[in-house]
Structure 1
Amino acid sequence: MAANAASVLNRLIQNAARPRKPFKPTNQSPTASILPHLDSGDLPRAIAALAASAVPFPASVYARLLQLCSSRRALVEARRIESHLVAFSPSPSTFLLNRAIETYANCGSLRDARELFDEMPKRDGGTWNAIIAACSRADQPEEALSLFSRMNRSGIRPKDVTFASVLGCCADLLALFLAKQIHGLILKLGFCLNVILGTSLVDVYGKCWVIDDARRMFDSIATPNAVSWNVIVRRYLEVGRGKDAVAMFFRMIKRGIKPLNFTVSNALMACSDISALKEGCQVHGMVLKIGFEGDNVVRNSLMETYAKCGVLEDARRLFDQSTSKDVVSWTSMVSGYAACGRISEAEALFEEMPERNVVSWNAMLVGYVRSLHWDKAMDFFHRMRGETEETNLVTLGLVLNVCAGLSDLDWGKQIHGFAYRHGLCSNLFFGNALLDMYAKCGCLRSAELWFLSMASQRDRISWNSLISGYGRHGRSEEALHAFSEMQWETCADEFTFSTILAACANIFMLEHGKEIHGYMIRNGFEMDVIIRGALVDMYSKCRLIEYGIKVFEMESSRDIVLWNSMILGCAYNGRGEYGLELFEAMRKDGIRADNVTLIGILLACISEGYVNLGRRYFDSMTEEYGIIPRVEHYECMIELLGKHGFMVELEDFVEHMPFEPTIPMWTRIFDCCREHGNRKLGERAARCINESNPLNPVQFEVLSPESSDCT
C-alpha cells in the first residue's frame, strides 16, 4: 500500500515537472466556442455555449448576441444574456446595458427594458435615448415624454435621436404646444440643419393640423430627402388639401428626387379625392417610367384613382392585368363599382373574391347606402353578421345610416345597445352617426340626450345633425336656438347655414335669413349651388322674390334643385311669367326637368291663367320628359281647370284620371263647381265628401253672385 502511494506521488511529481504545451484559445476558450455559432446565426447553440461558461465574454460577443436576439425577437434568450452579463461581470458596461434595453424594446417587452433602466447604477445619454425610444415604440408616448422631462432635469443633453423619438410622441398625442417648445430647444442646441429632425417637425405640425407651419418647416430644410417629401405630401392629403399634395409631388419630381412607393400612393389618393383625372394619368406615366408598375401599393392606388374618377374601365384593365391580386386589389375594384352606383357589377365581383376582410364588406355596404338601397343594405348586413365576426365602427356607422334611411328606430336602438356593450360609444364617428339616426327617425328627445352626453367631444358634425333634425321635423325655432348655442362651441359651415336658412324660410324669419346671408358674404363663405338654393327658397317664401332672383342670377353653376327653387318661388310670388321664361332657359342649358320642375310650371300656369299651356305641359310629361304624373300634378291640373272656369274640361279630366280623386281633390272640385256652376260634377263631389265624413255633410248649391257662402 505504501508502494502504491509512493508510485502515485512520483507520477504527480513527474507530471508537474514535465513541460506544458502552449495554451490554444481557438480550441479551449469560451469565446472560441461561441463565435462559430454567432457567425452562422445559430442562436440556440450560442446561448448553450453562453450558459456553459462561468467566465465573462468580451463586450463584442455580448453585443453580437443581443443583436441576434433583437433580429429574432427572442425575448427569453435576451433575458439569459442579460443575466449572464450581470452575474459574471463585476461592473457591466453601460454600453452593453443600453443595448440590452434596446433589445428588450425590439422584442416587445417594455417592462423588461424599464426594470433594467431603473436598476442601472450609471446612466448616460444613450441609456435615456434607449428607454425613451422603447416607450415611443411601445405606444407609451406619455411615459416617453415624462422620461424626456426627467432626462432634461438630470442635466443630460438630448441628441438628435432623442428629439426624433420625442417629436413622434408629440405627434401621437397631438401635443402642439410641447412640440413648439421642443422645436425651440432644437434650435437652441444647434440641430436646426438636421434633416431627420426637420422632417419630424413637419410631421408633428401636419398631424396637429397646423399645415402652414408644417410647410414653412419643410421649406426650411436645406436638402429634404425622399422621406421628407413623403411626409409633406401625406400631411396635405390628411388635412383635405389634395391640390397642394399633388403640387408638392410634382415639385418633388422636378427636383429629381425619386419618390417612395408610399409617396406615389399618397399622390394618387390626393388625385382621387379632388377628381384630378389628368394629374392621376400623369402620375401613372411617371410610375411606368420609374418602374413602380409592379408595386402592389402603387397599383392598388392607381385602380382606386381611376375608379373614383369614374374611369372604371381603366381601373378594371389594371385589375385584370395584375398577376398578384390581393384583398386590397379586389376591395378597391368593388369599392369603385359601388361608389359609382354600378351595384350589380360590384355584387358580382364581391362574390368572386377569394378572401374578404371587414373593409371589403364595408365597401359593398357603402355602395348600397349611397345608392339608397336601404333594404338590400340591411339584408347584406345580416349576411355579414352570419359569415364573419369582423365588425368595426365603420360598419356600425353605415348600419345606423341604413336605420335612418328606413326610419327603423328599433334596429337603431339595437345597434346602440351593441356598441354600448362593446365599449364603442365613446368614438366620435359612431356618436355622430347615432345622433344622426335618432334625429332622422324623429326621436328628437333621444337625440337631445345623446347630444348632451357627447359634450366633451362633440364637433361641428354633431351640431349639424341636431340642427337638421329640428329642421326636418318642423321645429324651426329650436333649430335657430341650437344654431345660436353652437356658435359658442364651434364654427358653422355651409351645411349649417343651408339648414338654418331652410328653418328661416319655414317660419318666415326674413330678418334672420338676411343676417345669415350678410354674415356669409362678410366672412368669405363659398356661395355654392346648395347655399344659393337655400337663399332663393328663403327669400321666395318670405315674399322678397327680387332678392331671390338676384341670388339666382349670380354668375355660378346651377343644378336642377336651384332651378326648381327659383321656378317655384316665382309661381308662389305672382311671377309665373318669369318662371316660364326660366323654364325655357333651363331647357336651353341642357338641364332635364324632373317632377318638381313640372309642379312649378303648372303652378306658374295657374298663376298666369295659362290653361291651354298648362294642359300641353301636363300631356307631354311622360313622352317628352319621361315623368309619370303624380298626385301633386293632378292636384295642379284640377286647380288650373277649376280656378279658371274650364268646367267641361275639368269633368273630362276627372273622368280619365287613372285613380279616384282624393278627398282634398273632391273638396276643391266641389268649391269650383259651386263657383262656376257645374251641378253634375258638384253633386258627385258632394257625395264622395259625405261618404268619407257623414257626420259633417255638405250640400251642393251653385253660388249666386251676391252670396258669400252656402251650406
Structure 2
Amino acid sequence: MASNSNAISLLTRLLENASLLKPKRKPSLLLPSSSSSILAHLNSTSSPPSTFHLNRAIESLAACGRISDAYDLFDQMPHRDGGSWNAIITACVRNERPRDAISLFRQMYGEGILPKDVTFASVLSCCADLLELSLARQIHGLVLKLAFSSNVILGTSLVDVYGKCDIVDEARKLFDLMPHPNAISWNVIIRRYLEAGRGDEAVAMFFRMIGAGIRPLSFTVSNTFLACSDIFALKEGCQIHGLVVKIGYECDVLVRKSLLEMYAKCGAIDDAHRLFNLSETKDVFLCTSMVSAYATCGRIGDAELLFEEMSDRNIVSWNAMLAGYARSACWEKAMNLFQRMRKETEEIDILTLGSVLNICAGLFDLETGKQVHGFAYRNGFHLNLFLMNALLAMYAKCGCLRNAEIMFFRMDSQRDRFSWNSLILGYEHHCQSEKALAALREMLRETTPNESTFSSGLAACANIFMLDHGKQIHAYMIRKRFEIDDIIRAALVDMYSKCRLIDYSVKVFEQKKSSDVVLWNSMILGCAYNGRGEYGLEIFEEMQKHEIRPDNVTFLGALLACISEGYVNLGQRYFILMSEEYQVVPRLEHYECMIELFGKHGFMVELENFVESMPFEPTTAMWTRIFDSCREYGNRELGKRAERCINETNPLNPVIFEVIPERDSVPTDSIDCS
C-alpha cells in the first residue's frame, strides 16, 4: 500500500513540476531519463504500476516536450483504457502533431474504445488545424450518436472547426443550437466571422452576447474592434469603447492596441492620438500601433517622428514603418529604412520580405528583388504562399514576365486569386493584353475572380479595343452580382471611351454620384478623346462645385478638352489654376498640351510668350510641334528658332523652315475669360 502511495506521490510531483522543465535544461531528478526507466522505477515498488499512474506519466512526459518517450511508454503499457488513449492523443495535440493525433484516434475507435468528450475536443482541434472538414463531419455524427450534443466544449469545438473550414453559416447554425454558450463559445463565433471577412456579423454577435448578459473575454473585445475596423463601424466602436471602460479592460494591452487601430482605420486619427497620449505606459506594442495608425491615415511624417522616438523597436515596428512608406509610395525612403534595419537588427520575417518585394516593384528594382528571392530561398521562406505571391507580383510589375510565369506554374495547386491577379495585371501593364484576357479565361476554370481581376481585364480590353470582350466582362459582373464599385466604373468608362462607345461611358458614369477622382478623370479624358470636350469641361466644372480635388490627370483631361473645342483662354486659365490654387505642379504633358493648344489654334504671340516662360528648354517633340505651327501660321522668328533646335538634336534629318501659304482666317477663342 505504501509503495502504491509512493508511486502516486512521485507521479503527482512529476505533474506539478512538468511545467518548470525545459527541453534544453538538464533533466530533473524527478523525471527519469526514459520511459523504460519510468517503468523500471514503478516496477520496483511492491505492486505493479496501475494504468492510471502510467496515464499520468504519459501526460507528464508530454508536458515536458518528451513526446517520443510518451509514445514509448504508451506502446509498452500492458493494459490501456480510454484514459490512456486520451493521454497520448492530448500529448500529440500539445506537441503540435495533429496528424499523429488523428491517426491514434482512428486506431482507438477501430479497437472499439469509445472516446470521451475531452478526446473528441482534442481531435476536433486537430481537424481545425488541418482543415479536415470531412473527418470533422464524421466526428460530429459520433458526437450526436453518443449524446454529447449538449456539451458546451464539444459544441464550441465544432463551431470552431466549421468556421475555420470556411463554412461559417453551418458554424452559426451549430452555435444557435447550443443551449448555454459560454464566453469562449461567443469568442469563437465572433472570431470566425472576423476571419471570414464578415465583420458586420461579428459586431452584431458581440452586441447580442452583451444582451445575453455574458461578460466578454479581452480577446473577444479585441476581435470586435478589429471587425469594426474592417467595416469602418466607428459608431459601434465608440459604444464598445464605453463598455471597455465600464468593465475595466482599458488597461489591457491587446484591447488598447486594437482600439487604437480601430480609431485610426475609421479615420478618427485624433481620437487614436488622444488615446495614445492618455496611456500611462507607452510600450513597444502601443507605439507600433500608433506608427501604423499614422501611416494608414497618410500622416507619414508623424509616423516617422514617433518611430524615431521609440527607445525599443521590434520586428513589427520595422514592418509597420516599411508598410507605411510603401502605402505612401515613398519607395526610396522605404528602401533606405530596410538597409538601416539590416544594420540594427537581425530579425527578418515573411512580412518584411513581402514589404521589400513591394518596394522593389515600386522602384522597378529587379536586381534587388532577385537578391531578396535568393535570400528567401536560402532561408527556407520560398515555399510560403504569401512570399511566393509577393515574388510573382514583383516580377510581373517589373516586366520580368518570364520569371513571373515560372513562379506562377511552380505554385501549381497552391496558387490563389492573388496569384492570378498579379499575372493578369503584369500582362496588361506590359502590353500583352491578349495574354491577360487568355489568363482571365483560364482563371475562371480554377478559381473565382474578384473586382481587381475585372479591373485588369477591362483595362486589357481598352488597350486593344476589344469592345465585345469588355461587354462580356461587364455582363458577367452583372449576372454574378459583383459590386460595381468606383474602381470598376472607372475601368468601364475608360474601356467604353477607348472603344468609341462614349454614350455607354456616360451611362456608367451617371449611374451613381461619386467623389472618386479617378472615375471623374476617366470620364473627362474619355470625352476629350471622343470629341465631346464640351461635356468633359462641364464635368470638370461640376467636379469643382462638389469640392472634389482635381489632380494632374484631371487637368490633363481639361486641357485636352480645351484643345478639341478651341477654348484657348479657358485652357490658359486652367493651366494657371492648376499650380496657383491646387498646388499641382505642371508636368511635361501639361506643357505639351499648352503648346498644342496655342499652336493648333494659331495663337502665335501666346505660344512665343509661353515658350519663353517655360522653366526648362522644350523637348525635340515640342520644338517639332512649334515648328509645324509656325509654318502654318507664319511666325518666322519662332519657326527659325525651332528649326535650329531640331537640327541641333537631329543633324542627320534636318528640317527647313518654309511658311505655308496663309489660311483664309485665324480662329479666335470662343470663350472670353477676361
Q: Paired residue for 1:361?
A: 318
Q: Paired residue for 2:198?
A: 241
Greater CA drift, 240-249 or 622-631: 622-631
Give the whole-Å Cα distance in 2 for the aligned partners of 1:355 and 1:611.
59
Greater CA drift, 559-568 or 687-696: 687-696
Greater CA drift, 147-156 or 638-647: 638-647
Greater CA drift, 521-530 or 100-109: 100-109
Return closer, same or farther for 1:314/1:148 CA change in 2, 3 Å cut-off: same
Q: Paired residue for 1:65?
A: 13
In structure 2, which of residues 109, 121, 124 is the aligned counterpart of residue 167 of structure 1?
Answer: 124
Q: Deviations over 1:431-489 (max 9, x none)?
A: 11111111111111111112221113111111111111111111111111221222222
Q: Paired residue for 2:604?
A: 647
Give the SS at the match of 1:292.
coil
Q: Paired residue for 2:42?
A: 85
Greater CA drift, 595-604 or 249-258: 595-604
Residues 517 and 548, structure 2, Cα contact 8 Å, conserved in 1: yes
Q: Paired residue for 1:523?
A: 480
2:212 counterpart letter in structure 1: R
How many aligned positions are there? 654
Return closer, same or farther for 1:619/1:543 CA change in 2, 3 Å cut-off: same
Give the whole-Å Cα distance in 2 for the aligned partners of 1:412 and 1:492.
27
Give the whole-Å Cα distance in 2 for the aligned partners of 1:675 and 1:545.
32
Question: What is the CA distance between 1:58 and its match in structure 2?
Answer: 5.8
Q: Deviations over 1:395-425 (max 9, x none)?
A: 0111111111111111111111111111110
Question: What is the CA distance between 1:110 and its match in structure 2?
Answer: 1.0
Give the SS at the match of 2:115.
coil
Q: Paired residue for 1:506?
A: 463
Q: Deviations over 1:97-154 (max 9, x none)?
A: 1111111122221111111110011111111111111111110000000000001110
Q: Paired residue for 1:466?
A: 423
Q: Paired residue for 1:670?
A: 627
Residues 78 and 100, structure 1, Cα contact 8 Å, conserved in 2: no
Greater CA drift, 406-415 or 313-322: 313-322
Q: Deviations over 1:294-327 (max 9, x none)?
A: 3222222222222333333333333333334433
Larger radius of gyration: 1
Q: Deviations over 1:189-246 (max 9, x none)?
A: 1111111101001111111111111111111111100000000111111121111111
Question: What is the CA distance between 1:628 and its match in structure 2?
Answer: 2.8
* TM value normalised by structure 1: 0.89
Give the whole-Å Cα distance in 1 for the aligned partners of 2:267 and 2:202.
21
Superposition pairs for residues 76-155 of structure 1, below 5 Å? Answer: 76=28, 77-79=30-32, 83-155=40-112
Give the whole-Å Cα distance in 2 for the aligned partners of 1:348 and 1:497.
39
Give the whole-Å Cα distance in 2 for the aligned partners of 1:296 and 1:618.
52
In structure 1, which of residues 604, 627, 650 is the aligned counterpart of residue 561 of structure 2?
Answer: 604
1:430 aligns with 2:387: yes
1:216 aligns with 2:176: no
Question: What is the CA distance between 1:390 and its match in structure 2?
Answer: 0.8
Residues 7 and 42, structure 2, Cα contact 8 Å, conserved in 1: no
Q: Paired residue for 1:386?
A: 343
1:538 counterpart letter in structure 2: M
1:289 aligns with 2:246: yes
2:31 counterpart letter in structure 1: A
Give the whole-Å Cα distance in 2 for the aligned partners of 1:301 and 1:629.
42
Greater CA drift, 98-107 or 306-315: 306-315
Q: Deviations over 1:478-524 (max 9, x none)?
A: 11122122222211110010011111101101110011001001110
1:563 aligns with 2:520: yes
Give the whole-Å Cα distance in 2 for the aligned partners of 1:439 and 1:159.
53
Question: What is the CA distance between 1:56 and its match in structure 2?
Answer: 4.5
Superposition pairs for residues 294-313 of structure 1, below 5 Å? Answer: 294-313=251-270
Give the SS at the match of 1:697.
coil
Superposition pairs for residues 262-661 of structure 1, below 5 Å? Answer: 262-661=219-618
Q: Deviations over 1:591-611 (max 9, x none)?
A: 122221111111111111222
Return closer, same or farther for 1:66/1:553 CA change in 2, 3 Å cut-off: same
Residues 4 and 47, structure 2, Cα contact 8 Å, conserved in 1: no
2:210 counterpart letter in structure 1: I
Give the whole-Å Cα distance in 2 for the aligned partners of 1:599 and 1:319.
42
Return closer, same or farther for 1:625/1:473 CA change in 2, 3 Å cut-off: same
1:119 counterpart letter in structure 2: Q
Question: What is the CA distance between 1:59 and its match in structure 2?
Answer: 6.1
Return closer, same or farther for 1:324/1:86 CA change in 2, 3 Å cut-off: farther
Residue segments in structure 2 that go unaligned for 5+ positions in a row = 664-674
Give the whole-Å Cα distance in 1 for the aligned partners of 2:551 and 2:349.
39
* TM value normalised by structure 2: 0.93
Greater CA drift, 588-597 or 136-145: 588-597
Question: What is the CA distance between 1:552 and its match in structure 2?
Answer: 0.3
1:304 counterpart letter in structure 2: E
Give the whole-Å Cα distance in 2 for the aligned partners of 1:632 and 1:296.
51
Return closer, same or farther for 1:486/1:60 CA change in 2, 3 Å cut-off: same
Higher relative contact order (CA 8 A, sep 6+): 2
Residues 62 and 81, structure 1, Cα contact 8 Å, conserved in 2: no
Question: What is the CA distance between 1:658 and its match in structure 2?
Answer: 2.6
Return closer, same or farther for 1:218/1:556 CA change in 2, 3 Å cut-off: farther
Give the whole-Å Cα distance in 2 for the aligned partners of 1:71 and 1:382.
41
Q: Paired residue for 2:163?
A: 206
Residues 66 and 81, structure 1, Cα contact 8 Å, conserved in 2: no
Residues 82 and 100, structure 1, Cα contact 8 Å, conserved in 2: no
Give the SS at the match of 1:333.
helix
Give the whole-Å Cα distance in 1 for the aligned partners of 2:282 and 2:614.
58
1:65 counterpart letter in structure 2: R
Percent pairwise identity: 67
2:516 counterpart letter in structure 1: D
Greater CA drift, 281-290 or 338-347: 338-347
In structure 2, which of residues 655, 665, 672 is the aligned counterpart of residue 698 of structure 1?
Answer: 655
2:292 counterpart letter in structure 1: S
Question: What is the CA distance between 1:63 and its match in structure 2?
Answer: 4.8
Give the SS at the match of 1:571.
helix
Give the SS at the match of 2:415.
coil
